[in-house]
Amino acid sequence: MGVFKNRDSDWFDLFITSVSYSSRAAQVLKKAFEDGIVDYEEMQNIKSIEHEADTHVHRSLKLVEEAFVTPIDRSDIIEIITEIENITDCIETVGNYTFMTGVKQVNEATLNLMQLLVDACLKLEELMKYLKNYKKNLKIIDKYIIEINRIEEIGDKTYINAMRNLFEHETDVKKIIIYQLLYEKLEEALDKCEDVADAVQKIIISGI
């Protein structure tokens, strides 16, 4: 496949496509755990999404490698694409871990973290739509960055409280191990969402 002919919209579309995979994966994960009962058939869709996302990442990095000119620094393009990929990878890990440990249902804290992850990914999708013309969209971009950071902060509090309740009240060692890892990976995915927003903010600051 040939490289883009310096059409900025195509370059920024790479980000939109990348984050759409993360958003889809987050929504499928949430749907697979609907009402707290795990639907393993639905969970299989995450693997397909991750495969599509991985193919997109390799294609995108190849385009960056071959491009003569890019609208923003190559390192910034690579950082955003790989940070978005990290979100999708974290979601896939949650699905894999759930399957390996034979989880049948999850608690409210897990569902809350999944919903926050969906919310953060949806905000990232909106953020990327405004990035191409970022100099004209500074206020709305800043609004989305702040909102993503706010969601991540809520996720931190949810994670801390969930871990405290887990170790304070749960006596089943297997459940402690399972929930601890689920909480950690979901919180990590939320951190990655914030990392993407921070990378965008860095571009904004350097480009003003």
**What does the DSSP assignment read for the chain?**
-PPP-S-HHHHHHHHHHHHHHHHHHHHHHHHHTGGGB--HHHHHHHHHHHHHHHHHHHHHHHHHHH-S--SS-HHHHHHHHHHHHHHHHHHHHHHHHHHHHT--B--HHHHHHHHHHHHHHHHHHHHHHTTTTTTT-HHHHHHHHHHHHHHHHHHHHHHHHHHHHHHHH---HHHHHHHHHHHHHHHHHHHHHHHHHHHHHHHHHHH-
Asked if residue 37 is part of any domain, the answer here is yes
Does residue 1 belong to any structural domain of this protein?
no
- pLDDT tens by residue, the chain, 208 residues: 333 344 544 778 999 999 999 999 999 999 999 878 899 999 999 999 999 999 999 999 988 888 777 878 888 899 999 999 999 999 999 999 999 999 988 999 999 999 999 999 999 999 999 998 888 899 999 999 999 999 999 999 999 999 999 999 999 999 999 999 999 999 999 999 999 999 999 988 876 5
In a domain, 169, yes or no: yes
In a domain, 157, yes or no: yes
Domain that holds residue 166: 8-207
CATH (domain of 110): 1.20.58.220
- Count of domains observed in the chain: 1
